[in-house]
Amino acid sequence: MRDDCITVLLGLPELRVKGEEETDHWIGVQVEYRVREVPCPWCGEMTGRVHSRRTQMKRDMRLWRKPVYLELCKRRFRCRVCGRVFSEPDPVCGMRKRTSGRFRSHLGREALEQPVRQVARKEGVGETLVRGCVTEEARMLLGTAASPEAPQVLGLDEFSIRKGQIYDTAIVDLERKAVIGVVSGRRQQEVADFFTALSNADRARVVVMDMHEPFRQAVALCLPRAKVVVDKFHVLSHVHRALDQVRTGIEPRQGKRGELYRARYLLLKARERLTPPQRTTLMALLGRYPQLHRAWLLKEWFRDWYRGTGRAAAEVALAQWEASVRNQGPVSFKALFPMLRLWREEILNYFDYPYTNGFLEGKNNRIKVIKRTAYGYRNPQNFRQRIMLTNRQEAQPIAA
């Protein structure tokens, strides 16, 4: 027996340590369960009659940076009453498991912060095991709560799982700033199914979204008391696109060599955020291109419109903006009229309910980071699960 070693607590009180062995690469511990008698699963009678023994290798947590293997002496008992033979329970690892429960929980927690492949290589296990541990840990963390209660202010926005192929919809509580669900797809029925499952759906009074018709239909079908508000940043993005079309129409052949191409971000920048040198440069540029100057003024006019107060005044101001575009152009801004006609009520609702999807857009950026960290997800369900877990971690209170 070695006399230059120390005893370390295994941390598994259910097991009795019978011996140990340490090499340069691993640590082996011979263990067996302490209980002498176990209940028969068939008749319920307690029995301590051992029928046979066999050794099973179980992987456990690392110790001193070495993997630990539990050499479990697994017993089979014969019931004295019914005579049937059965294996003793294995609460440390679980039925037909080759790893301890605490090791699987460790793998799951590690894989929530790191790519699955990286965790598998570090611990010397298979990627399939790590994925299963993530799912197991996710179920425990997320729980099995039924349908969430409908918040008063919801936000909807789609994001891509696979660019141009698979899209999902994130649904958030804008007041609590929390994701309450990730819907598979972006069609009316898929979103409506989620709304139908919400408890106390009549609480919802505002739904903020982009101009996606299936979303509007789902809200009208399932949340009849809620007002739809078109996110103002989506509306402004259409206005910015119209301005950019004017710019590209002025110098279509110069490409990246043209001065207007170099000034494309300067044109879209908010007027109040321009530095004095930027303002001087922009004014000189607009002085050389009257048509572009006209488009830039319309863009700023529309941005100022969103700062107004009161729905009645907003309706009048929007009609004036449209009349100016109708009389003087440019053509690319006239292309905005169908959007403003089809979504006019929802756009004007912003002045009654000034909510935006700014939080949700930031969450979408976090979703993209999750996808890049794992180099993409082949299983969409795993991706949705990871999004909900990340949301749960961000919602945890910070300890004092």
26 CB-near residues (< 8 Å, 6+ apart): 66, 67, 68, 69
CA distance 29 to 185: 50
Q: Which of 101, 137, 98, 97 is nearest to 116 (CA)?
A: 137
Give pLDDT tens digits for 156-205. 888 776 665 667 788 888 888 877 877 877 888 888 888 888 888 888 89
Superfamily classification of domain 153-231+356-390: Ribonuclease H-like superfamily/Ribonuclease H (3.30.420.10)
Domain ranges of the chain: 1-98, 106-144, 153-231+356-390, 232-351
CA distance 205 to 270: 32
CA distance 86 to 79: 8
Tokens 């909807």 belong to residue: 156
Q: Which of 60, 1, 71 is nearest to 31 (CA)?
A: 71
317-337 mean pLDDT: 93
Give pLDDT tens digits for 4-50. 666 778 889 899 999 888 888 999 999 999 999 999 999 989 999 99
Q: Taking the mean position of all CA atoms in its chain, how far away is CA 75?
A: 45
Q: What is the pLDDT of residue 181?
A: 78
Output 161 or 346, whichever has higher pLDDT: 346
Instruction: Concatenate the DSSP letters of all residues of 137-174 into one string.
Output: HHHHHHTT--SPBPPSEEEEEEEEEETTTEEEEEEEET
